[in-house]
Chain A
């Protein structure tokens, strides 16, 4: 009898999609399993290869603890120091990209003629890998600023194109509504164009942060002095053959990158939900 064959309730823990705790536990569980799988694969491969350039996860973990507490004896910098150097450069690069790309994107997005003029220029420069600028920036701006400039270039383009896209995607009926309500050009820009563009700008930031992390490490590797995680990785490999330390640096990059993009993701979702707009 089909009607009596309903599943027993209350006995088995059932996954409820709408329960935030269930949702969190489920995704946290899956993430744990997948990361454990990755560590396991790494462990087996390192044991199998027995190559000094591929230490086991446990060796890397021990190195991490040493680097964070005591520090690397060659440069007398702890991992905290290197992290803070990289993060500061990253922040400076991000700010530079932000103050340039967002206003420029708003202007280009609002003016089809200007955008048509600028498109060939940025389409020409955009495909250049940001790291290609590093040697030039190093000469022009020095070791301290050069990595920040590379990060700025890396973040600039996704932020610019997303901002332009956001402004051009504005709902024309919102503009019409604002006009009939008496808003002048400046008011329409501030009260309609800007808020409509914010989710797209946030999306550009989200993409830009990921690109920025790739840039900072690569740019620091090219710089011969000044610390930072990228510098640390390159110097340990090239000068001291300390491959376990390289891996420790890579793990730190992974964690920092994950934290920044997760944070950006959260902020993005919060803003779009609050503003009632979705850029996806």
Chain B
């Protein structure tokens, strides 16, 4: 077996179960009470997959994402990416934030360059790579713009370029389009698919919007209310672009919404969580 064969074989084996989240548990201490946010959460994600996590409000979707990012330490359980165990945050797991989290004192270019800068990439290469990604998210010509000069959609394009430029194994997106208006949101969903398709990036996408999840995902993970468990995982093998008004699309959306509703509404008809 030649060396390239070996390399291909390993990449194939790591293609399946590229990201493994195993028995993740998170307990928050609040006053003297312990609140179990997440219990025994396991999930495997393949390379290049776009997986969405949806669930009732406050179920711990964001906490899962932040634990994978390394921003929140799990009480127990492990996250492995490409066979490596993750401890603390690192540029192998890029993150896109709901509030964009761009550095307002930096231009678009300097925001995108940040990850390369701290990794010690030489200036010329930094600039060239940043420019390539700024172009790929459709912001060519805005390299020197300051953050406050951009619209919400443009800001999140910068956020995506900034996360992608270090070539992470996975992009973690925490309700990235939640702050955008409906129209921009639809455009950004299509853009995300275009960008991640081209770069073959693995994406874990947390969202409140079932419509969004059905539109973009290869797989949707539906969580129960707190403490969150996986209620169901739905494969969506449909090709892109998807028709939001097609019968199968609306049927699936309705089905997922029903599942979420049953998580929120108690048998006596009241909403909210059990006391």
Q: Which residues of A contact B (CB under 8 A)?
A: 171, 173-174, 176-184, 187, 191-192, 195-196, 198, 274-277
Residues on B with beta carbons closer than 8 Å to the beta carbon of A195: 103, 105
Instruction: Given A179-B71, A276-B146, A276-B148, answer yes or no on A187-B89 (Cβ-Cβ < 8 Å).
Output: no
- Chain A's closest residue to B98 (CB) is A173
Digitize B244-261: 1 where CB-to-A-CB distance is under 8 Å, 0 elsewhere: 000000000000000000
Selected contact of A180 from candidates B69, B147, B148, CB within 8 Å: B69
B119 within 8 A of A: yes
Q: Which residues of chain B from 90 to 107 have any CB-CB distance to chain A below 8 Å in the complex?
A: 90-91, 93-95, 97, 99, 101-105
B156 within 8 A of A: no
Residues on A with beta carbons closer than 8 Å to the beta carbon of B101: 171, 173-174, 176-177
A230 to B88, CA, bound (A): 58
- Chain B's closest residue to A179 (CB) is B89
Residues on B with beta carbons closer than 8 Å to the beta carbon of A174: 101, 103
> How far is the CB of A76 from the nearest CB of chain B, in Å?
51
- Chain A's closest residue to B66 (CB) is A176
**Are B99 and A276 interface neighbours, CB within 8 A?**
no
**Are A187 and B118 interface neighbours, CB within 8 A?**
yes
B162 within 8 A of A: yes
**Are B147 and A181 interface neighbours, CB within 8 A?**
no
**Are A178 and B71 interface neighbours, CB within 8 A?**
no
B166 within 8 A of A: yes
Instruction: Given A191-B114, A192-B103, A276-B104, answer yes or no on A182-B146 (Cβ-Cβ < 8 Å).
Output: no
**Are B115 and A182 interface neighbours, CB within 8 A?**
yes
Range of interface residues on B (Cβ < 8 Å) = 20 to 34
- Chain A's closest residue to B99 (CB) is A173
**Are B118 and A180 interface neighbours, CB within 8 A?**
no
**Are B115 and A173 interface neighbours, CB within 8 A?**
no
Chain A contact residues, majority secondary structure: helix
Provide a sorted-by-A list of 12 A–B residue pairs whose CB atoms are within 8 angstroms.
A176-B95, A178-B118, A179-B70, A180-B95, A180-B172, A182-B89, A182-B119, A191-B117, A195-B105, A274-B105, A276-B104, A276-B105
A182 to B69, CA, bound (A): 11
**Are B105 and A275 interface neighbours, CB within 8 A?**
yes
> How far is the CB of B146 from the nearest CB of chain A, in Å?
5
**Are A276 and B91 interface neighbours, CB within 8 A?**
no
**Are B105 and A180 interface neighbours, CB within 8 A?**
no
**Are A181 and B71 interface neighbours, CB within 8 A?**
no
A21 to B166, CA, bound (A): 47
Residues on A with beta carbons closer than 8 Å to the beta carbon of B162: 177, 181
A277 to B146, CA, bound (A): 11
Selected contact of A178 from candidates B69, B114, B119, B163, CB within 8 Å: B114
Residues on A with beta carbons closer than 8 Å to the beta carbon of B88: 179
**Are A277 and B104 interface neighbours, CB within 8 A?**
yes
Residues on B with beta carbons closer than 8 Å to the beta carbon of A173: 97, 99, 101
A179 to B117, CA, bound (A): 13
**Are A180 and B103 interface neighbours, CB within 8 A?**
no
Residues on A with beta carbons closer than 8 Å to the beta carbon of B115: 181-182
